Amino acid sequence: NLGASDSEKNNIGFGDQQRTGDDERALKEFFKPEFRNRLDMICKFNKLDPLAIKKIVVKFVDELKKSLKNTHDITLNLSESVVDYLAEQGYDSKMGARPLSRKIDELIRVPLGKKIVFDKIKNSTVTATLVGETIEFITVQKVTAKVGADGVITVE
């Protein structure tokens, strides 16, 4: 993260200009020469692009989906607009993708958890959709049908 604050400074001129030398200066100011001489390589990372941010959202949501499936037999689906909204709301140019997890907790995990507890949802499919700037959950109870030996169909 060395030099990250310097890269946020406004550039003078046109276009996206690369600030050369700022990273090296930040490295020299932060680490002593004895440590810098032991480094084999320095990796510089670019900012995340929108596709990478969406992939991170999907990764966090997949973890939530597995948990819901294992604990409550709930299948969670998110519309593309919800994924886009979470990526937009959870990404910060200065903090990167770090706030995404908290935003997913705030907008998906907590409201859905309350819905599960108070509406006693289990064995269902829940679809999250974006209505305006609000995420709404649509719940559909899963139905299973069994055919008995006598040919009678039982719906559970």
41-75 burial string, b = 16+ CB within 10 Å, else e? Answer: eeeeeeebeeeebbebbeebbeebbeebeeebebe
> 109: part of which helix (H) or strand (E)?
none
Question: pLDDT-derived band of residue 152, with 50, 70 and 90 as boundaries?
Answer: confident
Q: Mean pLDDT throughout 61-81?
A: 94
Q: How is residue 119 written in tokens?
A: 């509406």
pLDDT at 6 over 60: no
**Which of 51, 48, 56, 55 lies closest to 101 in space, CA to CA?**
56
Q: Model-level pTM?
A: 0.71
Question: pLDDT-derived band of residue 131, with 50, 70 and 90 as boundaries?
Answer: very high
User: Tell me, what's the pLDDT at 97?
Assistant: 84
Beta-bridge mates of residue 141: 124
Packing angle, helices 80-90 and 50-72, rounded to 10: 110
**Which of 19, 27, 26, 89 lies closest to 60 in space, CA to CA?**
89
Q: What are phi and psi of 127, to 5 degrees?
A: -115, 125
Share of the chain above pLDDT 70, in %: 85
Mean per-residue pLDDT over the chain, rounded: 85
pLDDT at 19 over 60: no
User: Tell me, what's the pLDDT at 156?
Assistant: 67
User: Tell me, what's the pLDDT at 18?
Assistant: 52
User: Tell me, what's the pLDDT at 2?
Assistant: 65
Q: Which segments of the chain are extended strands (E)?
A: 74-78, 124-131, 134-141, 145-147, 153-155
